[in-house]
Amino acid sequence: MNPSSTQQLPSSNTVNDEQENKLEEMPITKHLMILRKHLFKIVSALLVLFFCLLPFANQTYQLLSEPLRAQLPVSSSMIATDVTATFMAPFKLNFFVALMLAMPFIIYQIWSFAKPALYEKEKSLAFPLLVSSIVLFYAGIAFAYFIALPSILHFFMSVSPETVAPMTDINSYLAFCLKLFLVFGLTFEIPIITLLLILIGIVTTQSLVEKRRFIIVGCFFISMFVTPPDAISMIMLAVPMWLLFELGLLFGKIIEKRKTA
């Protein structure tokens, strides 16, 4: 066989070295230009979504306030203690909704910017983790709106004195809901964080199993500070935190078994 008719395929180390050299040769101004391009796309998408949703801002706020209005007595209603509150509250909510809807596109732009600096093995792990983080964040917000928020509001309304007519300010209610959504959205990222710590090698599944009781106590301790001051809110955050940690630990064990196999 003629040796010239066959070509030796480059090893993975050679490909990785060539990729690293190309990135090192690229000047910092080139990186900044690429970053500016991705930031421009992100801001453009946010503005387009924001202005498309702006005509429906009041309806969006009505949807957000539905759990509260369902708990209020017949004689009570929501109020605005500031002149600009009737405009600013739906305006702020509209931006938050636009940001949440644009999140997959934002994550994709971040992925596109970081992708050239990753090796093939890192790419195969990073993209599924990014997609999973988006899905889990949305799941956390949905859990907060459909399950946690009605239960928390029902608790606070039930302990209200009979001589007091609860009338919540729309700005205060919006701030309360957004904080709750962000807390639960970030909480549902615990499986991703657990997997990353295991993949990087900072912790092992065995060490996490040994420290499980301390982690469970830590879940209740953290939820005590980031939720409203009632037992219902604390339990409804701490229990999902614990279960999500167990989910991340389970996937971590599966990955470790595959590595050893």
The confidence score (pLDDT) of residue 8 equals 46
Domain residues of the chain, as ranges? 30-61+70-106, 115-160+168-260
Whole-Å CA distances, 77 to 86, 165, 227 = 14, 9, 24
The confidence score (pLDDT) of residue 1 equals 47
What's the CA gap between 176 and 120, in Å, rounded? 43
Which of 105, 92, 94 lies closest to 38, judged by CA?
105
The confidence score (pLDDT) of residue 176 equals 93
Q: What is the pLDDT along the chain (261 residues), one digit of tens a residue?
A: 444 444 444 454 554 555 555 555 567 788 788 889 999 999 999 999 999 999 999 999 999 999 999 888 877 888 888 888 888 999 999 999 999 999 889 888 888 887 777 677 777 778 888 889 899 999 999 999 999 999 999 888 888 787 777 888 999 999 999 999 999 999 999 999 898 888 888 888 999 999 999 999 999 999 988 888 778 888 999 999 999 999 999 988 888 888 777
Cβ-count burial 100-139 (b if 16+ within 10 Å, e if not): eebeeebbbbebeeeeeeeeeeeeeeeeeebeebeebbee
Q: Are 235 and 222 in contact (CB under 8 A)?
A: no
The confidence score (pLDDT) of residue 120 equals 76
How many other CB atoms are found less than 10 A from the CB of residue 173? 19
> Please, which residues bridge with residue 169 across strands?
79
The confidence score (pLDDT) of residue 20 equals 52
Which of 183, 187, 172 lies closest to 92, judged by CA?
172
